[in-house]
């Protein structure tokens, strides 16, 4: 009897260790981008497959016009967005590429649990309107995206060769500022999935020479 209990405890401890090892391996698993970790959404992910709401190895969804990108598994936003206009009169077009992927949850209209293989648990839950992470469809109150870098004919922007953490995203052959310029969707080490610290506004100063 005692042996049996000890055996059970040993197996239990080994299981815990295996789980801890799996979590150590993953940057994303204990972040808000593991949709199952946030009890508020009630999202169920089979086997805690953290990648599944966004990626699938097979039968991915076309992101735009039959084109595929990062083997995407989530529903794509069908909203029309209002875009910020800068003082120089520059304005991004409708979100494209990876920014469109972010807005396929952060628009507050597309269900976060609308992903391939989730028919059984689908409850059509969107990011609540009162949460700051719900950007909505009016992006006129957000830092511009879909905008060229460096902006043509403007001074006050650092050469991209000096970037240490932020990045330009190439869309239609142009270097642009997109959500992924400032954010890194899988890594929450700095908080807010940021690429660079906000200490002394370091993130901003990588681009803006102010
Ligand atoms: C909440 C959604 C989300 C989850 C969850 C997620 N990803 Fe991603 N992933 C994205 C988006 C959006 C992009 C494209 C934007 C970018 O690269 O910044 C991407 C890009 C990628 C890429 C290509 C670009 C790169 O960064 O290398 C790989 C590989 C990738 N993901 C792997 C994974 C794996 C493996 C997991 C699970 C451990 C995972 N992702 C979980 C949203 C997600
Ligand atoms: C599959 C849905 C989904 C996709 C795709 C997605 N997110 Fe999120 N994201 C969420 C949810 C859900 C939260 C938690 C929101 C909350 O707690 O209010 C979140 C939280 C965040 C946060 C706040 C983190 C924090 O610590 O509070 C940031 C920043 C963020 N996401 C950026 C992005 C960016 C940038 C992309 C694209 C590269 C992206 N997300 C793609 C669902 C998604
Ligand atoms: C120029 C840099 C930059 C760009 C581009 C950018 N963000 Fe952010 N974002 C930030 C910073 C900085 C914060 C943290 C603000 C804070 O801590 O108050 C943030 C915060 C967020 C949050 C969390 C809001 C909250 O307060 O909980 C979400 C969600 C988010 N961003 C999504 C996006 C999405 C989606 C895009 C593209 C449509 C995007 N961001 C484009 C810099 C950027
Ligand atoms: C990846 C580069 C990049 C980063 C990082 C970045 N910006 Fe920008 N920012 C730009 C570009 C490009 C524009 C658009 C300029 C244009 O085309 O007129 C812009 C526009 C702006 C504008 C509006 C200017 C106008 O004419 O209306 C402000 C203000 C601003 N950024 C502040 C910030 C702040 C604050 C941060 C940090 C939270 C930040 N930016 C981070 C590249 C960046």
- 194 near 182, Cβ under 8 Å? yes
CA–CA dist 118, 162 (Å, integer) = 43
3-state secondary structure of 180: helix
Cβ(205) to ligand 3 under 6 A?
A: no
Q: pTM, whole model, 2 decimals?
A: 0.93
Which H/E stretch holds residue 83?
strand 82-83
> Separation of 38 CA from ligand 4 center, angstroms?
31
Domain count, the chain: 1
Q: CA 85 to CA 176: how far, in whole Å?
A: 15
Q: Is residue 133 a part of any domain in this protein? A: no
Distance of alpha carbon 193 from the chain centroid: 8
The reply to whether 18 falls in a domain is: yes
CA torsion, ordered 54, 57, 62, 66, to nearest 10 deg: 160
Per-residue pLDDT of the chain (210 residues; tens, 9 = 90+): 444 445 455 554 444 444 544 555 679 998 999 998 766 788 888 888 999 999 999 999 999 888 999 999 999 999 999 999 999 999 999 999 999 999 999 999 999 999 998 988 899 999 999 999 999 999 999 999 999 999 999 999 999 999 999 999 999 899 999 999 999 999 999 999 999 999 999 999 999 999
Q: In angstroms, rounded to a whole number, what is the distance separating the alpha carbons of residues 116 and 74? A: 6
Q: Is residue 2 part of a domain?
A: yes
Instruction: Choose among 180, 31, 170: nearest CA to 100.
Output: 180
Is 78 within a domain? no
Domain that holds residue 10: 1-29
- Identify whether 106 is part of a domain: no
What is the three-class DSSP state of 8? helix
Which residue's alpha carbon is nearest to atom 1 within ligand 1? 33
How many whole angstroms separate alpha carbon 152 and alpha carbon 170?
Answer: 16
Q: Which of 202, 204, 206, 210 gets mutated to test ligand 4 (max ligand atoms within 8 A of its CB)?
A: 204
**What is the widest separation between alpha-carbon atoms in the chain?**
80
């Amino acid at each position: 009897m005692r042996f049996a209990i000890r055996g059970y405890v040993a197996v239990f401890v080994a299981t815990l260790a295996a789980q801890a090892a799996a979590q150590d391996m993953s940057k994303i698993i204990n972040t808000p981008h593991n949709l199952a970790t946030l009890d508020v959404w009630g999202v169920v992910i089979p086997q805690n497959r953290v990648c599944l709401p966004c990626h699938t190895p097979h039968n991915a969804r076309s992101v735009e016009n039959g084109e595929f990108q990062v083997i995407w598994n989530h529903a794509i936003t069908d909203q029309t967005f209002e875009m910020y206009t800068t003082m120089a009169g520059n304005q991004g077009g409708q979100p494209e590429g990876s920014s469109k992927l972010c807005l396929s949850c952060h628009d507050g209209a597309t269900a976060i649990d609308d992903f391939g293989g989730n028919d059984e648990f689908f409850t059509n839950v969107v990011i609540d309107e009162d949460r700051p992470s719900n950007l909505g469809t009016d992006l006129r109150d957000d830092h511009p995206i879909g905008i060229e870098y460096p902006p043509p004919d403007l001074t006050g922007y650092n050469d991209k060769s000096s970037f240490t953490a932020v990045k330009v995203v190439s869309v239609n052959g142009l270097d642009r500022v997109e959500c992924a310029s400032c954010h890194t969707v899988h890594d929450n080490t700095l908080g807010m999935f940021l690429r660079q610290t906000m200490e002394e506004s370091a993130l901003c100063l990588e681009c803006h020479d102010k």
